[in-house]
Structure 1
Amino acid sequence: MKNALALLSIGMLAACGSSEPEPAPTPTPTVAAPRTLVGADLDLSTLGAKIVGPQGPEVRTVLSAGNREIGRLVSYVACPADTAECKPGEMPEGTVYTYVHSVTLTDADDGTQMAETDGPEVVESAPTLFRTIRKVSGFNQSVGYSTAEAEATLGDPDAISITNDSGSLIWRVSRGSGWKPGGTMTFWWQSTTPPQGPAEAYLLEVDGNQAIATGPFPAEEKPVEGARPR
C-alpha cells in the first residue's frame, strides 16, 4: 500500500512539473491622442517663389458635396524668401516648403450653386473644419492661418484651433460668428518634403457635408533601407 501511495505521489509531481508555462500577455498598442498645436499668423513676406507644377503655380479646385458647390480651394507651395525660382530638385537639402491653402465658400448670390430647391431658401451654415486626410511627411511643427482673414471672416482672430491627429493636420472653427458664404480663410503649414504633385489629400466639412479637395501634397516617407520590422 505504501509503495502504491509513493508511486501515486511521484506521478502527481511529474504531472505538475511537465505543465507548460502560461503565455505572456500580449501588449496593447497605445493610440496617440490628438495634439493641440499653436498656430502662427501667415506672413507672406517670408515666402519666396512658388513651385510651378503641371497646373501652373497654383492648383484650383471646386469643392462639391453631392450635386452642390460649397466652396473653392486655391493651393500653392512656396520656397523661403529671396528664392527667385522654386525648383525642388535644385534646392539644398533641408529646404523648408510652405504649403498654403485658401478656401472660399460659395456665395449664394454669385450664380455658382449647382442646384436649386422649390422649398424655403437654403442658407449655408458655417463650415466646421478643413484638414489633411493623410499624414503630412516632413512636417516641421510650423502651422497656422491668416489671423486677419479670421477676424474679417469669422469675427475673431483666434477663431481657429489646430490639432495634429496621427500626423494629419486639422483646422477647426471653434470661435467667432461663423464662416459666411463668400468669406475666405487661408491655412498654411511647412514641411521639409517637397510636393509630389496634386493629390486628393484635403477635406472641407460644412455642417456635416464633406468635400474632398485636391492640392499639392508631399510624398510619403520612405522606409529606411535595411530596416527590419520589429
Structure 2
Amino acid sequence: MTRFIAISTLAISLSLAACAKQENTPDDQGDARTDLEAATDDFIVNAGDFDREQLGARIVGPVGPEVEGSLVMADGTSIGDIKSYVACPENIDTCDPAKLPADTIYTFVHMVTPGVDEPNDDPIAQPETVKPVAKSVTFRMTMPAGSFAGQAGYSLEQARAALGPQGTFTVKCNEGMLVWEVATGETWGTGEPVTFFWKSRKPPKGPADAYGFEADGYTAKGKGPFPAPTANGDATGCT
C-alpha cells in the first residue's frame, strides 16, 4: 500500500508540473518579448567624443564629399544649417564602398549650426528666410538608424563652447532613431556649431530627409546622407 501511495503521489506531482509548464510557457515567452521590446525601445547610448575620432577619407557622393543643407520648418523658414559627410575608418585613402569589405564601418558626421543658413548644394532648395534661435533642444533622426554599429556621440569641445564648461548632450535610441538632446549647461543658440556623429555598417545611399531639429518650440527637418534601407526597411534601427 505504501508503495502504491508513493507511485500515485509521484504521478500526480509530475502531472501538475507538466500542466504548470504548459500553462506558463506561452505567457512567459510573451512577457519576455514584451520586456525585451520595452528595454530596447528607449535607451541611452554611451556618447563618444568626436574630437578623438580618427577618420579616413570621405565618400564622394552625388553632391560631393559634403552635403550642405538647411533645417527647415513646415512653413519653409530655416532655423539652422546642417553640413554632413561620411568617412571611412582611418588609413583608408579612398572611401569607395563598392571596393571595400562588407564589414566596413562608416562614420556619419553632421555639423549643426542654429539660426544661420549657408548656401546649399544643388538640388537642395535654399530657404528665403532664416529665423534666429535662442534655445536649441535636440538634433535627431526622423528615420530608423539603419545598420547602427553601436557608436554615436558629439564634439565635446564644441558642446562646451556652445553650452558652457558643464555643457553635455545625452544620446538616446528612441523607437529605433538616435536623438541627441541638451542635458546640462547653458543655452545652445544662433551661430554656435556642434558636430554629431554615428556609425553604421552600411554606406549612405545619398541625401535623405532623415534628420530633425528642435529649437524655441519649433520643429525642422533637414537632408543628410543616410544608409539605403534593406528589404525589411531597417525598421528596428538602433534597437
What range is the shorter-chain TM-score in?
0.7 to 0.9
Corresponding residue of 1:106: 115
SS at match of 1:177: coil
Measured after TM superposition, the shift of residue 136 of structure 1 is: 1.2
Q: Could you say if the C-alpha distance between residues 211 and 58 of structure 1 is closer, same or farther in structure 2, counting changes exceeding 3 Å? A: same
SS at match of 2:152: strand
User: TM-score normalized by structure 1?
Assistant: 0.75
What are the Cα deviations for residues 6-27 of structure 1, in whole angstroms up to 9, with x where unaligned? xxxxxxxxxxxxxxxxxx99x6
Corresponding residue of 1:8: none
SS at match of 1:174: strand
What are the Cα deviations for residues 24-47 of structure 1, in whole angstroms up to 9, with x where unaligned? 99x687353410111010146510
Q: Could you say if the C-alpha distance between residues 188 and 123 of structure 1 is closer, same or farther in structure 2, counting changes exceeding 3 Å? A: closer
Q: Is the 8 A contact 1:156 1:175 kept in 2?
A: no
Number of residues of Structure 1 aligned to a counterpart in Structure 2: 190
Corresponding residue of 2:161: 152
Measured after TM superposition, the shift of residue 113 of structure 1 is: 7.5
SS at match of 1:178: coil
Q: Does 1:61 align with 2:69?
A: yes
For residues 126-205 of structure 1, what are the structure 2 equivalents within 5 Å?
126-156=135-165, 158-205=167-214
User: TM-score normalized by structure 2?
Assistant: 0.73
Radius of gyration: which is bigger?
A: 1
* Aligned amino acid, residue 199 of structure 1: A
* Aligned amino acid, residue 60 of structure 2: V
C-alpha separation in 2, matches of 1:146 and 1:210: 23
* Aligned amino acid, residue 114 of structure 1: T
Q: Could you say if the C-alpha distance between residues 83 and 196 of structure 1 is closer, same or farther in structure 2, counting changes exceeding 3 Å? A: same
Measured after TM superposition, the shift of residue 96 of structure 1 is: 0.7
Q: Which has the higher helix share?
A: 2
Q: Is the 8 A contact 2:82 2:110 kept in 1?
A: yes
Q: Could you say if the C-alpha distance between residues 185 and 84 of structure 1 is closer, same or farther in structure 2, counting changes exceeding 3 Å? A: same
Structure 2 unmatched runs, 5+: 1-25, 118-126, 233-239
Q: What is the Cα-based RMSD across aligned positions, in Å?
A: 2.4
Q: Does 1:81 align with 2:90?
A: yes
Measured after TM superposition, the shift of residue 124 of structure 1 is: 2.6
Q: Is the 8 A contact 1:162 1:172 kept in 2?
A: yes
* Aligned amino acid, residue 129 of structure 2: M
Corresponding residue of 1:216: 225
Measured after TM superposition, the shift of residue 140 of structure 1 is: 1.2
What are the Cα deviations for residues 187-210 of structure 1, in whole angstroms up to 9, with x where unaligned? 000011111111100101112211
Which of the residues 204, 216, 221 maps onto 1:207? Answer: 216
C-alpha separation in 1, matches of 2:157 and 2:186: 15
C-alpha separation in 2, matches of 1:188 and 1:152: 18
SS at match of 1:148: helix
C-alpha separation in 1, matches of 2:88 and 2:107: 7
